[in-house]
Structure 1
């Protein structure tokens, strides 16, 4: 017999749609309707009203069209809320990096120098801020009412001793250095001279200046040949002119190597004429110390304690310990320096920490708290000492 055909309905099974499906379907319908050509349905009954099913379809389509509009309008409002919430986060981030002490340092330095580039180069903050960060912070303190109010409140809570320590680190202005440069380099000024200078020019000097701070800064000016009666050494002028005249774009390695060798031969420090009793010498910019015993002490001399090599004669030595180190000559003719101070000693750029020692060669550069010296060895006398030591070992 004939197998009866299976009856199947073309209608889709109705089930409850979720919200995301409802939005996606409505978007698909609206996009398809917008992209495609307008569809004209055939009118079955011209004079009759639409049936109940047609009304139901229209009502469903109208409800589905309303939902995507509300969903599309809501995301921009969320984005606006996120943008608004980012502003206080930026303020708190800046406040976390910039401490009240940094703000006070910045304000004092700008009032002294009136130049943010000089402030960036000369002031040591708690963090390594870039020039742009310093500019943004200064403008925020001037023009942002929220940041400036919070910064002033934090600065008012600083301890008076902390404020005094910050004010003592204020940079020297150009007018202050002009007055200090008038003191002759050949003189040995005492604290009374700087006290008189402070009393004569109270409007020029910063209120926290003391005679001792002026003396230390005057010694720095003297060390770098910045006083009025001083002239820069010709060697440094020639070296600067050579380095400036060389173009940076066209580098010639062979030429640079030849120039380096010629500079070393022309400008190297000639060994002084040693006598028979001088083993070595420690030469600085201002003073030359002679080593005439096998062991000498380096440091800063005081009223209570005398030392062989007083480094304060060379320049500012307030960072140098009273007994900074010991230079010793061994029986084999080698010189060693032992660090016994708090700060490191740099030998040819290598740090020697406290409790350690390092070998000193001829023309070694010794740097202690910013003061640089060249260690020169009496080669003739040391060769005799080595020969005698070799004879003693053979016996």
Structure 2
């Protein structure tokens, strides 16, 4: 027995010595003081899960860590190295509490992003609640206090939303009619309009009769003038049933990209700065601005006026406008019996400048002349190099052609619709008939 007790004391001393040696060898692990008291408190579900994970991690660390009894200051064995490599590696072995806290913070930071994704947005259910509550109480303050929307809107947001709903209902009838007149034409409407012949020269009564015969096909805000304007556009773009689109040229006439690239001179593409040229350009710019001011002061003397097209139906003719040459961008009002068409330059002033409509570098400076005869007929004479197409028929240089109402005039890819003031022309013909017998 004495020998057994002596051997146990020697083993305890050796274990104590090994513990001291291991603590001195590690050195980085300070001795931690902890209290034996334990304060119990309720834990939430996420803390229960995290605490169980922390306990399992501490058990793994305790099982895979280096035991102080086996550490004698020498390197661990191969089996111990494998156990250490399998355990989660940390630079400093702190207490397992911070790791769950970090994951908890990350989860809390992600949750508000999903919750606040749709905040501040009005939903259809909110609009319905707002309308019903205002119609019931007629008080926005009580609506803001009593109605529970999908989001917490402020009183100002509720007022702005209600004012936006009321603004649409309080629009002026003319504004509503203007908005409705811009409605797109459906396929059924365009099919009915395309049946009207391009050479029939329809009047407002024709389109009014079309509205009466097909009330279900046309939009409720359509008028005879709107149908006539859209029919003219369809005629201009060859969309009627009796019209055919002209095929594109084939063969050597088509210029491909390589041929156009060969024609470009690389020396002209270099941007060389010339101070003398810049000075001349500034002087020319000043001169042009001075001429523009003079022309603006003489606008009342011009025989042809230009108006921009807003997409609405064209206004009625006044007592001074004989005819209108209408394009896609501008509208030329003919107020004299003879006007000239072409491309205006510094040395050449004409009545109708076709460059305001689009690219007009292929048009002659004096392309043609439109005249009104005493009998009330309009004629156009071609005086330029390129032909003028009237309803698809070419009018060569030196020739003339009679213009009728709704005739399509095409000059170098620029298309116009010629509209005649029928009332004023009727008065002119009546006066001419009175004068002729005398």
Interval of TM-score (by shorter of Structure 1 and Structure 2): 0.3 to 0.5
Structure whose alpha-carbon radius of gyration is higher: 2
TM-score after normalising by structure 1: 0.40
* Structure 2 length-normalised TM: 0.37
